[in-house]
């Protein structure tokens, strides 16, 4: 069964750091680009970051650029999101998602984890 399982969320003070993990199973992890998407309480979906299958290419939303770092360890089938300089507006449920791509194009996100909650508050 294809599965993604996030961990690492919690309560952190403004300016603090947190590292999220996403453990993948049931598919060839290294063959797929991956993303992080977040959802603030009562709000819609916001794409945060993406990384290619090899890890050689990374992409960020302007709202997190310079503060968040996406990475992956294909030997451990695990995706990461290092979050620094956290702000109250980063409070959200963070989902990891597998990108649904052909050899040339990506169409959306076809597998999602259950989400992990990050709360930034003093």
Partner 1 sequence: DIQMTQSPSSVSASVGDRVTITCRASQGISSWLAWYQQKPGKAPKLLIYAASSLQSGVPSRFSGSGSGTDFTLTISSLQPEDFATYYCQQANSFPPTFGPGTKVDIK
Binding residues for partner 1 (CB under 8 A):
35, 37, 44-47, 50, 59, 61-62, 95, 100, 105-110, 112-115
Q: Which of 2, 15 has the CB closer to partner 1? A: 2
Q: How many C-beta atoms surround the C-beta of residue 93 within 10 A?
A: 18
Least distance CB 97 / partner 1 (angstroms): 8
Least distance CB 46 / partner 1 (angstroms): 7
Q: Which of 5, 14 has the CB closer to partner 1? A: 5
Contacts of 95 (CB under 8 A, 6+ apart): 6, 36, 37, 38, 39, 112, 113, 114, 115
Least distance CB 105 / partner 1 (angstroms): 8
Q: How far is CA 94 from CA 28, 40, 91, in A?
A: 22, 9, 9
């Amino acid at each position: 069964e294809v599965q993604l399982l996030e961990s690492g969320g919690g309560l952190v003070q403004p300016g603090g750091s947190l590292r999220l993990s996403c453990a993948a199973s049931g598919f060839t992890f290294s063959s797929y680009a991956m993303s992080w998407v977040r959802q603030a309480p009562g709000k819609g979906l916001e794409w945060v970051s993406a990384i290619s299958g090899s890890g050689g290419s990374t992409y960020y939303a302007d709202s997190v650029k310079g503060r968040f770092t996406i990475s992956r360890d294909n030997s451990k089938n695990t995706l990461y999101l290092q979050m620094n300089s956290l702000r109250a507006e980063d409070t959200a449920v963070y989902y990891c998602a597998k990108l649904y791509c052909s050899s040339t194009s990506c169409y959306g996100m076809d597998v999602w984890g259950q989400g992990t909650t990050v709360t930034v508050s003093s």
